[in-house]
Amino acid sequence: MSQKTALLIIDMINKMDFDGGEALLENTRSIMDSLNRLKAGVKQREIPVIYVNDNFGLWQDNKTDLIEECRKGIGRPIINGILPEDDDYFIIKPKHSGFYGTQLNILLGQLGISNLILTGVAGDICVLFTANDAYMREFNLWIPRDGIASEKEEDNENAIKIIERSLFANTAKISETDIDKVFDY
């Protein structure tokens, strides 16, 4: 895998205390093993891991405060299963896309990134919007279907279809992919 690659983990620090949150929690549980395997694999290759997370209206809080606040919700087991490490980047976003109103594009430029692996929740909203903005910025994309979750499986599948058809992203499963060859073309 090219060193020009970064892994984005989108909105996994999440209270999930909203209408549909319990369904999202259940569907997110099913991607945790794959996501943690992927994160471990990219970290072994010294590929940057960037958490891109909703601020949940906490405009004056930092990463630590945001994590602690989100741990008060039903999403606590997910948060505890995928906590950022000290060498991971953490970007707080105000809206659906990880690019909108954030320093993500500047960070990716400074890191020399041209390939993105997008994972997280919700596949049909924040992952899809971030993927669209990444595509518009001409990043190569791998959005593994077993690395994203939505409240409804049908909505997740529809997002994957859009991601494949309109954003020309690779959506192969983590479990079926040699991550060293994802962006070799």
Beta bridge partners of 53: 92
- What percent of the chain is predicted at pLDDT more than 90? 85
HEC-encoded secondary structure of 90-138:
EEEECCCCCCCCCCHHHHHHHHCCCEEEEEEECHHHHHHHHHHHHHHCC
Kind and range of the H or E element at 88? Answer: none
Q: Which of 7-11, 40-44, 64-68 has the lowest mean pLDDT?
A: 64-68
Beta bridge partners of 63: none
Q: Are 6 and 48 in contact (CB under 8 A)?
A: yes
Tens of pLDDT, residue by residue over 100-117, are: 999 999 999 999 999 999
Check residue 179 and give its pLDDT.
87
Query: ∠ at Cα 29 (23, 32), nearest 5°?
Result: 145
Q: Which of 39, 55, 45 is nearest to 174 (CA)?
A: 39
What structural domains does the chain harbor? 5-176 (3.40.50.850)
pLDDT of 185 over the 60 cut: no
What is the separation of C-alpha 109 from the centre of its chain, rounded to a whole number of angstroms?
18
Tens of pLDDT, residue by residue over 160-184, are: 999 999 999 999 999 999 988 888 7
Angstrom distance (rounded) from CA 66 to CA 60: 10
Residues counted in the chain: 185
